Amino acid sequence: MTQIPVLENYFIHFKEAIDSYALPEAFTFPFYYQPHPLCLLAAEELQRYLEAQTEWQHNFGISGNKEMAIGKMFGVLLVQNKAKEIGYLAAFSGNVAGKNHLPHFVPPVFAAQPENGFFIAGQTIINQITESIIDLQKNPQILELTTLLQAEIDASLLQIQAHRDKMIEGRKSRKALRLSAESAMNIDDLHRLKEQLGKQSVAQKNQLKDLNGYWQKKIQHAQKSLHQLTNEIAALKNQRKVLSASLQQKLFDQYRFLNTKGSLKSLTDIFKDTAQLAPPAGAGECAAPKLLQYAFKSAMKPLAMAEFWWGESPKSAIRKHRNFYPACQGKCQPILEHMLEGVAMDTNPLLSNPAAGKSIEIIYQDAAMLVINKPAEFLSVPGKRIQDSVYLRIKQSYPRATGPLIVHRLDMSTSGLMLIALCKEAHKNLQRQFIKRTVKKRYVALLDGLLTADKGNIDLPLRVDLDDRPRQLVCYQHGRPAQTQWQVIERKNNQTRVYFYPLSGRTHQLRVHAAHVKGLNTPIVGDDLYGNKATRLYLHAESLEFNHPISKELMSFQVEAEF
């Protein structure tokens, strides 16, 4: 990697006059925000630059080969420089065009260079060990001995099982012979017969013991021959693992992040008190830390920030070309909490109670259960910071109710029908109906775009994004099965109204299935996690059909959406 002049001037002046724009009153809360107008302007300028520049080439998938495309997150930081001028800085996450630094963009927080060449030297040693492992693994004797070992194991299993089958048949034969002899022989002859049969049994057991010993020696001999070749490989792999861990730790210590107070903290120190304990892969390489680091080093005042996705959507997470996204919780939150210490920020909207002033409409009530209409932006159960929820309201209104109350959940942002059990028996029965998928559910949603097909099925397994909870990822390796049927109701004003029929109940299932490129590739209007924020999430649990938990009577409820 080439040497990067840390304090080279990456300050970018706006190309148009910004006198009519009001400056931000406080810095952006990076984990939930609407981009400030000046950040939108800076992002537009940066996007025009990305479209026009010819200094480097990277396949973002905007045009060309989408199979090899890699989209990237870019960020802009509105700043005031030492001359009191207002402009912005630009950065990208990770590498672009195979490099961690390009013209126009601030440098990485740490770059492995010849003068601090421990990383390059360490990586060279690790690469040499890897090459040695590959060379050793090419030895044809390893395959031959592996094949021989497996053949010996297979042969031993066949022979031992054949002898066990012979012993079983022998026991049956001897038992039949004893039973027959007991009525036909005198006592002395019967005694001699039993001794003879006993000796046969002992002989077969000894034969099994000898057979096990014979094959154990053959297998051990084959294993010993194979291990003589593979032990060196195992030792090299262990050496590589130790060196990699040591190099990674040393690398973490080199990533030192500034804040407005001039305090430096390494990745190791930042993450040691978090749930992860150690920094996750890629920590410190996102756009936001790079931008703030350069601003603090250059004595620039950060005013506001925004990050957007540029390029083809990834296969797992939901990222749309040109859409803005908050900083991630897993990699960036601990770093940014340190870097933004002492910076006046916008109020964290996630701390305010979205249910304040809202009430729950009861659609049906009896001694066993309730059917309610949950408002949008209303928690089903208490959260980490906010207790107000359907559970708390019902608990307060029905203090004599027993059991867990909540049978199933709706996302905080989703409105619509929910079942509440007022006794343990009802709760158990209703939950069983959900588990067996006998409850019929229908949602109505407004999608931000036009669908070409009229109906279909979506089958995309989901799991939580460990680096950015509560977002969900499509993951075929570790995801849980999730299926949704859908049907178009209406197309109007470049939006599509649809029915969703979820066949499973995964977190954010309908939102991800709507937005993901392998789903409908059209997010729900107002989806602040997977699309664009609006006045609300346009998703409503419209109808429920189930059997009453006590009377078993078929019950059906429907409440129209308010959109």
Q: What is the mean pLDDT of residues 53-76?
A: 90
Give the torsion sign (CA, 314, 317, 322, 325).
negative
pLDDT digits (tens, 9 = 90+) for 6-19: 457 899 999 999 99
Query: Do the domain assignments include residue 51?
Result: no
Sorted by sequence, the CB contacts under 8 Å of residue 465 that are 6+ apart come out as 317, 330, 471, 472, 473
Q: CB neighbours (10 Å) of residue 269? A: 14
Instruction: Using alpha carbons, select from 413, 390, 414, 394 the residue that is nearest to residue 402.
Output: 394
Q: What is the mean pLDDT of residues 84-94?
A: 97
d(CA 6, CA 3): 9
Helix 187-254 / helix 118-137 crossing angle, nearest 10 deg: 150
Instruction: Using alpha carbons, select from 316, 243, 271, 268 the residue that is nearest to residue 478.
Output: 316
Query: Do the domain assignments include residue 197?
Result: yes
Specify the pLDDT at position 113: 58
Query: Do the domain assignments include residue 543?
Result: yes
What percentage of residues in the chain have a pLDDT greater than 90?
Answer: 82
390 burial type by CB count under 10 A (0-12 exposed, 13-18 middle, 19+ buried):
buried
Mean pLDDT of the chain: 93
Phi and psi angles of residue 481, each rounded to the nearest 5 degrees, phi first:
-55, 140
E-assigned strand segments in 242-399: 256-257, 265-266, 301-310, 361-365, 369-374
Specify the pLDDT at position 4: 43
Specify the pLDDT at position 2: 39
Specify the pLDDT at position 43: 98
| pLDDT above 60 for 1 | no
Sorted by sequence, the CB contacts under 8 Å of residue 329 that are 6+ apart come out as 31, 467, 468, 469
Q: Report the CATH number at residue 383.
A: 3.30.2350.10
| pLDDT above 90 for 562 | yes
Query: Do the domain assignments include residue 323?
Result: no
Using only the alpha carbons of the chain, give its radius of gyration. Answer: 34
Sorted by sequence, the CB contacts under 8 Å of residue 457 that are 6+ apart come out as 483, 484, 485, 486
Contact 176, 184 (CB under 8 A): no
Sorted by sequence, the CB contacts under 8 Å of residue 443 that are 6+ apart come out as 414, 416, 499, 500, 501, 502, 510, 539, 540, 541, 542
Range of the domain at 155: 135-251
**What's the domain count of the chain?**
2
Give the torsion sign (CA, 40, 45, 46, 52).
positive
E-assigned strand segments in 448-504: 455-459, 462-464, 472-474, 483-492, 495-502
Asked which of 225, 251, 277 is the last residue of a domain, the reply is 251
Specify the pLDDT at position 248: 85
* Active-site residue, selected from the candidate residues 253, 411, 459, 528: 411
Answer yes or no: do 379 and 233 share one domain. Answer: no
| pLDDT above 80 for 542 | yes
Q: Which letter does DSSP use for residue 311 in this model?
A: S
d(CA 273, CA 110): 22
Helix 187-254 / helix 140-184 crossing angle, nearest 10 deg: 150
Specify the pLDDT at position 6: 45
Answer yes or no: do 356 and 498 share one domain. Answer: yes
The C-alpha angle with vertex 20 and arms to 14 and 22, in degrees rounded to 5, equals 90
| pLDDT above 80 for 5 | no
Specify the pLDDT at position 119: 79
Answer yes or no: do 411 and 523 share one domain. Answer: yes
Answer yes or no: do 224 and 359 share one domain. Answer: no
**CA distances in angstroms from 446 to 231, 450, 508, 538, listed in the order given:** 61, 10, 15, 6
Pairing of strands 539-547, 554-558: antiparallel
Lowest mean pLDDT, pick from 115-124, 470-479, 499-508? 115-124
Prediction pTM value: 0.79
Answer yes or no: do 237 and 359 share one domain. Answer: no
> Does the annotation count 19 as an active-site position?
no
Pairing of strands 72-80, 415-421: unpaired
Contact 403, 421 (CB under 8 A): yes
Q: What is the mean pLDDT of residues 306-322?
A: 94
Query: Do the domain assignments include residue 522?
Result: yes
Asked which of 232, 251, 270 is the last residue of a domain, the reply is 251
Place of tokens 């700043």: 79
Specify the pLDDT at position 277: 86
Query: Do the domain assignments include residue 219?
Result: yes
What percentage of residues in the chain have a pLDDT greater than 70?
Answer: 98
More confident residue, 261 or 462: 462
State the Cα torsion 297-298-301-307 to the nearest 10°: -70
Instruction: Using alpha carbons, select from 12, 20, 29 the residue that is nearest to residue 304.
Output: 29
Q: What is the mean pLDDT of residues 21-40?
A: 96
Specify the pLDDT at position 403: 80
Specify the pLDDT at position 339: 97
545 sits in which H/E element:
strand 539-547
Asked which of 195, 216, 251 is the last residue of a domain, the reply is 251
pLDDT band with cut points at 50, 70 and 90 for residue 547: very high
| pLDDT above 70 for 114 | no
Specify the pLDDT at position 116: 55
More confident residue, 250 or 293: 293
Specify the pLDDT at position 190: 86
The full DSSP string for 145-172 is: HHHHHHHHHHHHHHHHHHHHHHHHHHHH
Specify the pLDDT at position 3: 41
pLDDT digits (tens, 9 = 90+) for 434-449: 999 999 999 999 999 9
Answer yes or no: do 361 and 242 share one domain. Answer: no
What the block records as the tokens of 289 is 């830390």
Indicate the SS3 state at residue 503.
coil
Query: Do the domain assignments include residue 213?
Result: yes
Query: Do the domain assignments include residue 521?
Result: yes
Q: What is the mean pLDDT of residues 381-389?
A: 92
> Number of helices (H) and strands (E), helices first, in the chain?
10, 17
Q: What is the mean pLDDT of residues 106-133?
A: 83
The full DSSP string for 227-247 is: HHHHHHHHHHHHHHHHHHHHH
Specify the pLDDT at position 495: 97
pLDDT band with cut points at 50, 70 and 90 for residue 115: low
Would you put residue 552 in left (φ > 0), alpha (ψ -120 to 50) or beta? Answer: left
Q: Which letter does DSSP use for residue 279 in this model?
A: P
